[in-house]
A and B are shown apart, each in its own frame.
Chain A
Amino acid sequence: MSDEFVRAISTDEIAPGGMKTVEINGDEIVICNCGGTYYAVQRRCGHMNAPLDMGTLDGTYLTCAMHCVQFDVTTGEALSGPVPPYFGHETPPPMMGEYLQNIGMLMKHVRTESIRTYATKLEAGWVQIAL
């Protein structure tokens, strides 16, 4: 990580509790406004690459919309694994059942990794990010 900060977004572009995605030099980054303190993390979930900006931010905890894996945006640390799937009481049709079984078998081997964080600073109404 370099010490060179680049302008990402204006501070008024995200309301407190909100998130916004920017792409800088090919890096997809989610900027989170946690009550006026801005944090920046990689956009892709450390579990299955889903876009984290489609999840929810509560305090400094970001929950992925795909499998509810949670991250702390201050450190990028993965706090939980995926929530187990539930398909209701109905037995899925045979082909769908096989498909789900295969997916489940593959997913068992997917590790949840922590996500990358980027240093941020505020300057003249801009959120700047160190790439």
Chain B
Amino acid sequence: MNAESRKRALHYFFEKVVGPLGFKFTPDTELKDFLLEQEVILESKHGIPFCPCQPIRHDRERDMQIVCPCIPFHRKHFDAIRRCWCGLFVHKDVIDPDSLPQLPPKEVGLE
């Protein structure tokens, strides 16, 4: 299977999901490309495109919450930091993704 073709397909499907949630792909194309590639690798290993920046715990319920795009499971957190955890998606109004730090829920008052 060709990684580039799969990346294009994931891009197509993810865009349809995150758009209505108020998110878009990060404008940082290099980061986007890198993260999608990691997801293709994870998908070829596990059969599921997990978030590349969160641990797989082999606990079905928790693991399903990190299947990309995992925005619906972490909505409050990601809305607070205006990006998803790995930075593949950012709020639609974000122009400079580098200005958004990767803050854990505790640091934005969610735990």
Chain A residues with CB under 8 Å of chain B are: 58-59, 61, 70, 72, 75, 77-84, 86, 89, 112
Contact = CB atoms under 8 A, between A and B. Distances in A.
Nearest to A83: B47
Chain B CB within 10 Å — which of A77, A78, A80, A81 has the most?
A80
A77 B5 CA distance: 8
A77 B2 CA distance: 8
B1 A80 contact: yes
Contact of B60 (A58, A59, A86): A86
A83 B64 CA distance: 13
A112 B16 CA distance: 26
Given A59-B12, A61-B13, A86-B60, A72 B5 contact: yes
B9 A70 contact: yes
B interface SS class: helix
Given A72-B5, A77-B5, A78-B1, A84 B13 contact: no
Nearest to B64: A86
A89 B43 CA distance: 23
Contacts of A77: 1-2, 5
A107 to B, nearest CB: 11
B6 to A, nearest CB: 5
Contacts of A80: 1, 6, 9, 43
26 contacts: A58-B12, A58-B13, A58-B16, A61-B9, A61-B12, A61-B13, A72-B5, A72-B9, A75-B5, A77-B1, A77-B2, A79-B1, A79-B2, A79-B5, A79-B6, A79-B9, A80-B1, A80-B9, A80-B43, A81-B1, A81-B44, A81-B47, A82-B47, A83-B47, A84-B46, A86-B60
Interface string B67-88: 0000000000000000000000
